[in-house]
Amino acid sequence: MRKILVVRYGTIGDTIFASAFLRELRSNLPDSQIDFLADKIAKEVIKNCPYINNIVDIKRKWKDILYYINIFKNYDTIYFLKNDSFLTLTAFLAGVKNRIGFGILRNKFLTKTTPYKEDKNEIDCYLDLLKISGFNPMSDKTELWLKNDDDEKIKSELNDINCKKVVIQAYSRFSQKNWIDDYWVEVITYLSNVKNCQVYYAGGNKDYELYENLNKKLSELKIKPVNLCGKLSVTESFAFIKNVDLFIGIDSGLIHAAAALDIPSILLNGATSLKRWTPRSDKCKILTKNFPCCPCCIQTGVKKGCKNQTPKCMIALTPNLVIDEIKKQ
């Protein structure tokens, strides 16, 4: 039996993108052992995936090199969806026969490579790794896998909400991605007072106060938004998104969760390269304005980001553009 390890740790969105790769790999190798090397975040996303056998935990790098060598030597093939010079070197030292990844400078010691292109969607880059292995991927659709317990818990909590439910993610650790609070005020007021929607805020613990400050700018709402930041696990957040009517947000892991779950969504995009990170969903409406400086800071080799405190690409996305899309839902 072939034993394969897939390496992809990092953000929620990156791991969701890897779902298409895992499905297509399993389709081509139904009887192989397929394991996944993941950190804490990726592990939460992937733990219910039906296409893998085991999750291998990430540890420290050089201090735990013997841990990695002892793990890697059990596999005949490792796919590096994450560019990592330490792990590719360790796989070489462990004697892994097939070391497959992207042909960039820091990915040394690979036996087979494919180009990693800035103007190509990340999902397609992942699937190129299968193509150079002689496989033929049939679909690039992303997936998420929910536990029934999480789904039933969320359905129970939302059972008494009789209006339409909208999730908003307004903030990112990259400030260039963020929209303007005053714009959010107009959209939330419209959702509450005109569309009679229940709005929910999504994010992590660190975002809780940001939304509380946003709430202070709101007044005379029919339905007060609910701040869920820090109150749900990663998988519960996915289950929550599955049970709402619309997701509105900036480029984030959760917009890709909405795409994977086929939930209608509106993406407000400025800093991010749409060539690389467009959600794979016909139900995702992307609002963006093209400026010569877009995309900034997210691309390889661009370090400083936007020179403006409030990026003009986000200022150009006026509340009326979002409201017009909400009217179509």
Write down the pLDDT at residue 300: 44
Please tell me the predicted confidence (pLDDT) of residue 305.
57
Q: pLDDT band for position 117 (50/70/90)?
A: confident
Q: What is the pTM of this model?
A: 0.92
Alpha-carbon 78 to chain mean position: 22
Interacting residues of 53 by C-beta distance below 8 A, sequence separation 6+: 33, 34, 35
Read off the pLDDT of residues 219-228 as tens digits, 9 standing for 90 and up.
889 999 999 9
How many Å is the maximal CA-CA distance in the chain? Answer: 66
Bridge partners for 113 per DSSP: 101
Burial class, 274, CB count within 10 angstroms (exposed 0-12 / middle 13-18 / buried 19+): middle
Q: What is the mean pLDDT of residues 252-257?
A: 95
Q: What structural domains and CATH numbers belong to the chain?
A: 3-131 (3.40.50.2000), 149-328 (3.40.50.2000)
Digit-coded pLDDT (tens) for 9-39 = 988 999 999 999 999 999 999 999 999 999 9
Q: Check whether 296 has a pLDDT greater than 60.
A: yes
Phi-psi region of 36 (alpha: psi -120 to 50; beta: other; left: phi over 0): beta
Overall average pLDDT of the 96-101 stretch? 98
Confidence of residue 1 (pLDDT cuts 50, 70, 90): confident
**Residue 254 · residue 241 · CB < 8 Å:** yes
Calpha distance 41→97 (Å, rounded):
29
Check whether 80 has a pLDDT greater than 70.
Answer: yes
How much is the pLDDT for 272? 84
- Cα–Cα distance between 325 and 300 in angstroms, integer? 32
